[in-house]
Structure 1
Amino acid sequence: MRARWLGLLVFGVCFGATQAALADDACMDGAKTELEQLYCKTVAEGQGAGLPSPTDFKRNDPRVQALLLRRPAGRIGLDVPDPGASATTEPPRSDDGPAPAGSQDIPAQQGDEPEPTGRLAECRLEGQRITCPQRRYELMENLPNNRLADGALAPENRLGLSPFEGNRNDEEAVRRYLSDAYDRYIPNMVDIGLGANTMSFTEFHNAFHTIEEGGVDFARRMERTFTLLKQDKKTLAVKARYHDELPEDISLCTVINHDIVVCDNVGTNWVFVSPSR
């Protein structure tokens, strides 16, 4: 049963399954740039979870490669070279700035960066709670149906993502689209009681490209999956949490909206919600 839930949530996309095989000399031999070499070093040090394959990594332009590497390389003390001024104009999300959608643009609410600046600058991560000067957020678990709002599982409650109408090679357009889509996805998953079974932004980004490249509209597939989740939620029991792991640092967290903060280490996603929501 758990496999069914997780399979639906990640849309059958496998993330990082081949990463263990990348930590070898072949990767470094094929690296032609400093960023490609840093990619190989990062994977070799066991921080390749969530990163694309070497081939897919090379298809991204340097600024996107830098966003991809920023968090995992930083965890092992490696500096990411600046590929140019354009790479610094887009603030990274907490999940390593995944590919074309490596940041979260939340006007006014979030400030300039999702890292511990702006709204999170004075916040503290305390286990299952994020405490800020005037607000706190509690780790969200999956909820039983009797704790959901009326109509949460009704057909009328839709995810409502807009179709992507731009060019998938336009990194900035994809980033803006996925940022907005993710801001709808997370609150809606919380509303149907699945706050502990959400995709990280990296997984969300990877799902977008895999689905669209397969000739399927991402927004339509998301809506269909959301409908299936609601249907299953009516009849299938779901655990409050499937692991006891917690985020290690507030730098892994980013603001979704006034009431929701998401933290992730690429492989695991945590949703924190204000009790006032």
Structure 2
Amino acid sequence: MIAYQKKLLIIFAVGWISIAGADEACLASAQTDLERLYCEVVERGGGTGLPSAMDFKRNDPNVQALLLRRPAKRLGLALPEISATSEAETTRSSVGPAKESGTEPSIRQGLAGCQLRSDFIQCPKAAYELAGNRTLASLDDGVLGPGNRLVIVPFDGERNDDEAVRSYLSAAYDRYIPKMLAIGLGANTMSFTAFHNAFHTLESGGVDFSDRMGQTYELLKQDRKTLGLKARYHDELPENLSLCATIDRDVIVCDNVGTNWVFVRANE
């Protein structure tokens, strides 16, 4: 963390003049270095294809960095380092998995008999490995083409109906995670809490959540064609299976609200 803070000081020292020219309204609402960089990129004319500032903020820090890499590089701007305790991971709400009181956390339905062992989960009939970001060469043919889209049906209920919203978002999230894995972004997924917050932020601003998620997916596909990625951004692992839930028979997702982990069924 100290090394991360020192690097940020260096970035501020060499970049304060150019940052000062960024749009004041954008900077006034920016709370992280990635958000400030977004403002500068847009101010300097490199924001073509980027989501709006509001939409940008709802993405995971690693996805934010991915979206900014290409335009920032064109402008000669350096990306801040993303740490496991990124300052952008400040959202905490009851949407995420909650630990029950008592000395032993509960195991969610579908994970009975499973054991968390470092970076894999061993279940009675299958093992699941922690998914990282994959190389471009390892992706299946066609996944970055126009035929592979993230299609989420629009929400047609009332946003103040918590049960309807959670049911809708659960189904949408179950589509989102496999689609991110398909383009090799296992280490760049949003937690369900971030997904939930993105829905309310977009919809309250008059933006269709399903439409915007599809657009963002197309941007990520384009960036995947040219940008290299780290397999993982940190060594942190989930503490226990109370933080985990099954997406389908092949995927388990764990999160502590701030950090998301995706485990994929190992080849048998």
Question: TM-score under structure 1 normalisation?
Answer: 0.63
Deviations 1:212-266 (A, max 9, x none): 1111000000000000000000001111011111111011100000000000111
- 2:212 aligns with 221
8 A contact 1:13–1:210 mirrored in 2:
no
CA distances 1:80-108 after superposition (whole Å, capped 9, x unpaired)? xxxxxxxxxxxxxx9xxxxxxxxxxxxxx
Question: Does 2:195 align with 1:168?
Answer: no
What secondary structure does 1:167 align onto?
A: coil
Q: Deviations for 1:96-143, whole angstroms, at most 9, x for unmatched residues?
A: xxxxxxxxxxxxxxxxxxx51432111000010000011010000000
Q: Between the two proteins, what is the percent identity of the paired residues?
A: 54
- Are 1:205 and 2:196 matched, yes or no? yes
Q: Which residue of 2 aligns with 1:36?
A: none
- For residue 50 of structure 1, what is the aligned residue in structure 2? 91
Counterpart of 1:264? 255
Structure 1 position 71 matched with structure 2 position 98: yes
Secondary structure of residue in 2 paired with 1:119: coil
Where does the alignment leave 5 or more consecutive residues of structure 2 unmatched?
1-32, 39-49, 60-88
Structure number with greater CO (CA < 8 Å, separation at least 6) is 2
- Residue type matched to 1:219 in 2? S
Alignment correspondent of 1:128: 119
Which of 223, 231, 239 is matched with 1:232 structurally?
Answer: 223
- The verdict on how the C-alpha distance between 1:174 and 1:197 changes in structure 2, with shifts beyond 3 A counting, is same
CA contact (8 A) 1:252 1:263 kept: yes
- The 1:11–1:195 alpha-carbon spacing in structure 2 relative to 1, beyond 3 Å, is farther
Give the SS at the match of 1:244: coil
RMSD: 2.9
For residue 13 of structure 1, report the CA deviation from its aligned partner.
2.6
1:245 corresponds in structure 2 to 236
Report the TM-score when normalising by structure 2: 0.65
Equivalent runs, 1:15-26 vs 2, <5 Å:
none
Aligned to 2:56: 12
State the aligned residue count. Answer: 191
1:138-172 CA-to-partner distances (Å, cap 9, x unmatched) read 00000011111111111110001111111111111
Partner of 1:178: 169
Cα distance in structure 1, aligned partners of 2:179 and 2:166? 20
Q: In the aligned structure 2, how far is the partner of 1:246 from the partner of 1:190?
A: 18
* Structure 2 counterpart SS, 1:227: helix
Alpha-carbon distance change, 69 to 154 in structure 1, aligned in 2, over 3 angstroms:
closer
Corresponding residue number in structure 2 for 1:100: none
Moved >6 Å (runs of 4+): 7-10
Q: Alignment partner for residue 138 of structure 2, among 133, 147, 151? A: 147
What amino acid is aligned across from residue 208 of structure 1 in structure 2?
F
Q: Provide the secondary structure at the position in 1 that maps to 2:57.
A: coil
Q: CA–CA distance in 2 between the matches of 1:49 and 1:254? A: 22
Q: 1:244 to 1:237 in 2, by over 3 A?
A: same
